[in-house]
Amino acid sequence: MVSNRVLTRSPVLSIYRPRRLIAALLLPVALIAAAAPLPAFAEEPDPALAAVRTLLAAFNAHDVDAMCKAVTEDAGWYAVDGASIAVEAAGREALRDGMTRYFQALPTVRSRFESEAVSGAYVMVRERASWTADGEERSQSSLAVYRVEDGRVAAVWYYPVEP
């Protein structure tokens, strides 16, 4: 039988023991580092997405003037239902009139994007609008496609709403 004293003084074991100790000490650090999320770097949003988000912020503030600044002079709002497309608003002034009435009818309405995708000048979103009516919280979502020109929204196509 060999005693521990002999084994700890072995030239081979004395070389590897500090390495094992270092490995044992560093393993938890390596595991924690591997599990930690990578740091988020602030990215500039796509210019088209930034324009659409500007319009959303103005909508949520019920700031019709800011909404009008965020769209082109001839901006169009379209409701798509199957093969038919209805014009909801044609031009900045029609948008101003329509949104003024809309905010009067729904003073608590707010909207948020549940998902976003960008393809060049087009921004596709799943948008959820929420409001209170008769003391009851309500919401609905819809797909929308925004077309952006020169940093402003030029057209919006809204698809049928879902609860």
Q: Which of 52, 143, 158 is nearest to 98 (CA)?
A: 158
Q: Note the pLDDT tens digit of each residue in 85-97.
A: 999 999 999 999 9
Region 109-123: mean pLDDT is 97
Q: Which of 61, 63, 49, 59 is nearest to 146 (CA)?
A: 49
Q: Note the pLDDT tens digit of each residue in 10-64.
A: 444 444 455 554 544 554 544 455 555 555 555 667 999 999 999 999 999 999 9
Higher-confidence residue of 122 and 13: namely 122
Q: Which of 57, 58, 60, 46 is nearest to 122 (CA)?
A: 46
Q: What is the reported pTM?
A: 0.72
* pLDDT at res. 107: 96
Helix (H) or strand (E) run with residue 1 in it: none
Q: Which of 114, 113, 92, 96 is nearest to 104 (CA)?
A: 96
Q: Note the pLDDT tens digit of each residue in 127-163.
A: 999 999 999 999 999 999 999 999 999 999 999 998 7
DSSP state of 42: P
Tell me the C-alpha distance between 18 and 9, whole Å.
13
* pLDDT at res. 53: 97
* pLDDT at res. 12: 46
Residues 6+ apart with CB under 8 A from 138: 130, 131, 132
Region 99-105: mean pLDDT is 96
Name all domains of the chain by residue range, CATH numbers in brackets: 4-35 (no CATH), 47-158 (3.10.450.50)
